[in-house]
Amino acid sequence: MSYAKEYRAKLVTPADAVRVVRSGDWIEYGQFAAQAVALDRALAARKDELWDVKIRATTRVAGTPEVVKADPTAEHFAYHSLHFSAGDRKLHDQGVCWFVPILYHEVPRYYRENCRLDVAMLPTAPMDAHGYFNFSLSNSFSRAICDKAKTVILEVNPNLPVCLGGREEAIHISEVDAVVEADWNIPELPAAAPSEMDRKIATLIMGEIEDGSCLQLGIGGMPNAVGSMIARSSLKDLGIHTEMFCDAMVELAETGHVTGARKTTDRFKIAYTFCLGTRKAYEFLDRNPGCASYPVDYTNDPFVIAQNDKVVAINNCVEMDLFGQVCSESSGTRQISGTGGQVDFTYGAYRSKGGKAFLCLSSTYDKKGTPVSRIKPLLTEGAIVTMPRPFVSHVVTEYGIVNLKGMSTWERAEAIIGLAHPDFREDLVKAAENLGIWRRSGRASG
């Protein structure tokens, strides 16, 4: 049978495709900008026939899933996310979304060895002449999902770009159980405009980046500010090895700052595992031979990251305590994002020859008109420890950069207090004394 005939034989309506779902099943919707839409709508329509169907997705940015709208009590459909978007966070607050803790580079193994998965519903680009469907903007752990699922249904969308690999960037028609066709617009997530605080922190980091550095940028205004500053700098022969491809990287590539010429892995190519941004980024990646899409157990493996020299990893965090513990994903017990790849790249960058991992935070945030310190004696009660203290190296606020590696507890406390807003330093010194991690050298309290 030709690939075209096999495609037609497996082509069904969304309503017919979701008939395979049974009560108690685990379903996968996909990740980031490529998540089930038509199949989600069809599954929601079966609410009264189904109970306790569990759904997993990652960082949904296309609005509330239809299954959640149809079942606000979560008796029929229980929605889960491996990394919260703003929408996921709100659903969690309403009690209709549950969080799945992960180390991002380990997730393919979770699916292959630990997770139950009955039906995969994954968006892809249209089938090519050789019978392959490209996973597009979400390579991530899509291949692992398909390997584990008892039934694989593809939601084919002609709007999705073809993202060249790499490896594990596609699935063949022979491995697919059903195909549905859809035509929705790809959700976009514009980067937040950098604040003045972001620019101050970015300026400090710029002094640490060298020719030939290999970059990983997280999401948000501050990494975007770094990208813009690099685009206006004289830095050259930069590489990119990252989990997320974002709009700032398009500018770096198009201005000639990124060549990949000094990379050890994927030389001359931008390596990434997913893209979440605007149409600018999506169009840049479409069939671009200068970019390579990989599964996350490659891009985020600390030992792969470390093979490149001068890796610079830049990520944000929520708060930090005087012991050097970092929370990047919760506000107290309230889950607001996820671990993501922060641990992976912080560890990988430190193992890289000449590498540096920066954890960035403003010294304060505003709470109803009152400044609150992000540097605390102890993390807020219930806060998740995203980065255990031995993993933390460079920490940046608008007051400077410190490298905590090799420091004793009192040296850490002193260095961290030096990054705090001056209005809070005296109280932090007193707290460090009470915690038994202060040696009065007199440097940080001034």
What is the CATH T-level fold of the domain 3-181, as seen in this structure? Glutaconate Coenzyme A-transferase (3.40.1080)
pLDDT score recorded for residue 442: 54
pLDDT at 444: 47
Set 66, 155, 243, 398: catalytic member: 243
Q: Report which of 85, 165, 88 is spatially closest to residue 125, judged by C-alpha positions.
A: 165
Q: 357: closest CA among 399, 311, 397?
A: 311
Residues of the chain with CATH 3.40.1080.10: 3-181
> How open is the CA angle 384-303-214, to the nearest 5 degrees?
90
Number of Cβ atoms within 10 Å of the Cβ of 405? 13
- Outline where 192-313 has alpha helix (H): 196-206, 221-231, 247-254, 279-285, 296-299, 302-305
pLDDT by residue for the chain (446 residues), tens digit each? 799 999 999 999 999 999 999 999 999 999 999 999 999 999 999 999 999 999 999 999 999 999 999 999 999 999 999 999 999 999 999 999 999 999 999 999 999 999 999 999 999 999 999 999 999 999 999 999 999 999 999 999 999 999 999 999 999 999 999 999 999 999 999 888 888 999 999 999 999 999 999 999 977 788 888 988 999 999 999 999 999 999 999 999 999 999 999 999 999 999 999 999 999 999 999 999 999 999 999 999 999 999 999 999 999 999 999 999 999 999 999 999 999 999 999 999 999 999 999 999 999 999 999 999 999 999 999 999 999 999 999 999 999 999 999 999 999 999 999 999 999 999 999 999 999 999 976 554 44
For residue 119, give the H/E element and its range. Answer: strand 119-124
Asked whether the bond before 369 is cis by omega within 30 degrees of 0, the reply is: no
Tokens at residue 364, please? 């304060």
Q: Is 28 a catalytic residue?
A: no
Looking up tokens 């709009």, which residue turns up? 247
| Whole-number pLDDT of residue 445 | 45
Where are the CATH 3.40.1080.20 domain residues in the chain?
A: 196-435
Longest dimension (CA), the chain: 79
Residue 241, burial from CB neighbour count under 10 angstroms (0-12, 13-18, 19+): buried
Paired residues of 334 in beta bridges: 331
pTM, full prediction: 0.96
CATH topology of domain 196-435: Glutaconate Coenzyme A-transferase (3.40.1080)
